[in-house]
Amino acid sequence: MDILPLISHFESYIALTEDEKHLLQGKIGQRSIRRRQFILQEGFPCQHYTFVVKGCFRMFAVDSKGTEHNIQFTAENGWIADIGSFHSGKTSGFFIEALEPSLILQIEKQDLYYLYTNIPKLDRIFKVIVENNYVALQNRVLQTISSTAQERYLAFLDEYSQLALRLPNNQIASYLGITPEFLSKIRKDIASQPSPH
């Protein structure tokens, strides 16, 4: 199992010793995931923090009418989990699904807590990761209540620049809370605007 991508990710924050890397190796699980395979389903507790080595995932909820609402996307070098369910052990209201064939590394709760105790640097790193995600979520809530659909789309392109071309229109539209047809109209409007000089 190759956890080098995860070590590189952690070391983009703080360098790890050889002993710390070795400790990490024993607490990580690796999985290959098929396109459209779920790593979390509504009604089950979220048991892993998932790091994406290769591929792309979405986290979404389904409302009472059966409509899917995308909450988050993540791809290479990103994390995905229902953090509330992970820490509380309660069942999740979300699904996490692979949008592409993917390779992931996963940490279970007791292993993560063990690593926090034995590699205190990881506790600090995860605090920063969670804080960054919280800021992104705050910004998204603000956009949802105060921005036009076009402004939300431009913000999406800014946040997910690497993913915009990999995601199907219907997935992007679901994230923005609009129909795929309206997304096409927004794209046409943006394309027809004169470029700033």
Q: Which tokens sit at 19?
A: 């002993």
Confidence of residue 197 (pLDDT cuts 50, 70, 90): low
Of all residues in the chain, the percent with pLDDT exceeding 90 is 86
Q: Is 166 helix (H, G, I), strand (E, B) or coil?
A: coil
Place of tokens 């069942």: 91
pTM of the model: 0.90
What topology does CATH give the domain 4-131?
A: Jelly Rolls (2.60.120)
Q: Which tokens sit at 97?
A: 């699904």
